[in-house]
């Protein structure tokens, strides 16, 4: 600025002077001015650079907030990514563990039967149970005895399931006794390496050590157990013939540590509750046909009848009358039904007296409970004792 002022003063002084005296000095001044401009531009540039550095160092609050937000978002994204990676790693580890467990289970259960094997071993109504496995006791046998003499040997370790019965094309071991059913019983090897015996709903049953086993429920056979089928005089002694228990009854092991319930049914129906419901339905569908003779008393639900408008006898007197009628009916012998109908027509206080006391067929839950129980407990042609209900005292004859 000082130089510029000086130049201005010089220029104003030169104007007053004449002519073109010092042209060289003017050129020098111009060069100096040019140099001064360069120096001024360099100074301005340095000042702007310093200001820019200050502005960089002193950021505005809005930019700081934006940066904070972006850093928080980045941290959240990083945290979510790390969590996802951790989850993926955990899932991979679990899959690996499960794969190892499944592989171990497959290795342990190598004796599982294929569907083709099950179909091949199943015959008639009998179906091989799902828990059947390949036999582990390959040397197990049934030693067949008759009158304490060994007459035959049946190998049990050659097949997962062996059917015993009378019909040749439906069994593996044929039994000739007339009390044997077509498919009488089955011997099955289970997943614990034990031998199970199943009664296939045979007519005359299966006994283990003289005790009849429950149909369709597996019964574990231990070494030296004696099995009999139906009424046959032959006995089948189970022998595992293992090296530890060979030739010694005390050597037979009896470990129940891994025993568990095994279910079996010819219809693949292992649900006990469903069986109970079906049994109840069958009971409800049962029908009986009965005739009865009713004697009312003053404590009856309705102490009046077609014979008498008001009944005044006591309950004990009604029982005596009924027992008297019962004795007369029994004396009639094979004409019991005719005698019963005749007495019911004359002396019964029920409207069924017109039909000789006949009530026709009825199912359960149609009569009073004591009457129902007594009716279904009778055999056809059998006469009951005195039965007391709210209506009075009855005697019942089952006719169908």
Q: From the candidates 196, 292, 297, 300, which is the catalytic residue?
A: 292
- Give yes or no: 238 in active site: no
At residue 27, does pLDDT exceed 50?
A: no
pLDDT digits (tens, 9 = 90+) for 302-330: 888 888 888 889 999 999 999 999 888 88
Q: From the candidates 137, 291, 350, 352, which is the catalytic residue?
A: 350
Q: How confident is the model at residue 116 (pLDDT cuts 50, 70, 90)?
A: confident
Cβ atoms of residues 189 and 168 within 8 Å: no
pLDDT digits (tens, 9 = 90+) for 148-175: 888 999 999 999 999 999 999 999 999 9
- Give yes or no: 189 in active site: no
Give CA–CA dist 364/276, Å, rounded.
16
Neighbours of 150 (CB within 10 A): 10
Give CA–CA dist 102/286, Å, rounded.
51
Provide, rounded to the nearest whole percent, the portion of the chain with pLDDT above 90: 26
Neighbours of 113 (CB within 10 A): 20
Query: Rounded mean pLDDT of the chain?
Result: 76
Residue 23: its H or E element? helix 23-57
pLDDT digits (tens, 9 = 90+) for 345-373: 988 999 888 888 898 888 888 888 899 88
* Beta-strand pair 206-208/226-229: antiparallel
More confident residue, 293 or 101: 293
Whole-model pTM above 0.75? no
Q: From the candidates 161, 202, 291, 391, which is the catalytic residue?
A: 391
Q: What pLDDT is stored for residue 138 in this prediction? A: 87
Q: Once rounded to an integer, what is the mean pLDDT over residues 189-197?
A: 90
- Give yes or no: 34 in active site: no
Query: Within 13 A of 273's CA, how many CA atoms are on the CB side?
Result: 0
Cβ atoms of residues 323 and 388 within 8 Å: no
pLDDT digits (tens, 9 = 90+) for 42-92: 444 554 554 554 444 444 544 444 444 455 555 555 555 566 666 677 666
Give CA–CA dist 223/140, Å, rounded.
9
Give CA–CA dist 7/12, Å, rounded.
8
Q: What pLDDT is stored for residue 269 in this prediction? A: 45
């Amino acid at each position: 600025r000082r130089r510029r002022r000086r130049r201005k003063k010089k220029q104003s002084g030169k104007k007053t002077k004449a002519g073109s005296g010092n042209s060289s000095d003017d050129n020098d001044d111009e060069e100096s001015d040019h140099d001064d401009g360069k120096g001024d531009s360099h100074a301005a540039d340095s000042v702007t650079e310093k200001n820019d550095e200050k502005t960089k160092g002193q950021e505005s609050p809005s930019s700081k907030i934006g940066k904070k937000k972006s850093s928080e978002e980045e941290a959240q994204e990083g945290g979510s990514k790390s969590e996802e990676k951790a989850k993926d790693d955990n899932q991979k580890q679990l899959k690996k563990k499960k794969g190892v467990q499944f592989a171990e289970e497959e290795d342990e259960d190598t004796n599982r039967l294929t569907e083709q094997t099950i179909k091949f071993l199943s015959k008639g109504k009998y179906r091989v149970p799902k828990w059947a496995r390949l036999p582990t006791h390959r040397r197990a046998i049934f030693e067949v005895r008759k009158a304490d003499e060994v007459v035959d040997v049946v190998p049990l370790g050659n097949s997962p399931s062996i059917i015993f019965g009378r019909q040749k094309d439906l069994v593996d071991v044929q039994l000739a006794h007339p009390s044997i059913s077509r498919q009488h019983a089955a011997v099955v090897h289970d997943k614990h390496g034990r031998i199970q015996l199943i009664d296939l709903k045979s007519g005359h049953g299966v006994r283990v050590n003289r005790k009849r086993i429950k149909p369709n429920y597996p019964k574990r056979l231990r070494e030296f157990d004696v099995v009999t089928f139906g009424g046959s005089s032959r006995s089948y002694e189970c022998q595992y013939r293992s090296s530890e228990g060979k030739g010694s009854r005390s050597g037979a092991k009896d470990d129940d540590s891994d025993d568990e319930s095994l279910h079996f049914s010819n219809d693949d129906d292992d649900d006990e509750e469903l069986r109970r419901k079906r049994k109840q339905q069958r009971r409800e569908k049962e029908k009986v046909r009965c005739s009865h003779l009713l004697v009312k008393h003053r404590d009856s639900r309705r102490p009046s009848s077609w014979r008498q408008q008001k009944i005044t006898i006591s309950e004990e007197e009604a029982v005596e009358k009924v027992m008297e009628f019962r004795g007369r009916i029994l004396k009639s012998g094979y004409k019991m039904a005719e005698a019963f109908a005749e007495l019911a027509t004359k002396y019964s206080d029920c409207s069924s007296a017109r039909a000789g006391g006949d009530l026709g067929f009825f199912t359960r839950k149609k009569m009073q409970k004591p009457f129902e129980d007594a009716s279904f407990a009778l055999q056809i042609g059998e006469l009951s004792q005195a039965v007391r209900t709210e209506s009075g005292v009855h005697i019942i004859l089952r006719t169908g």
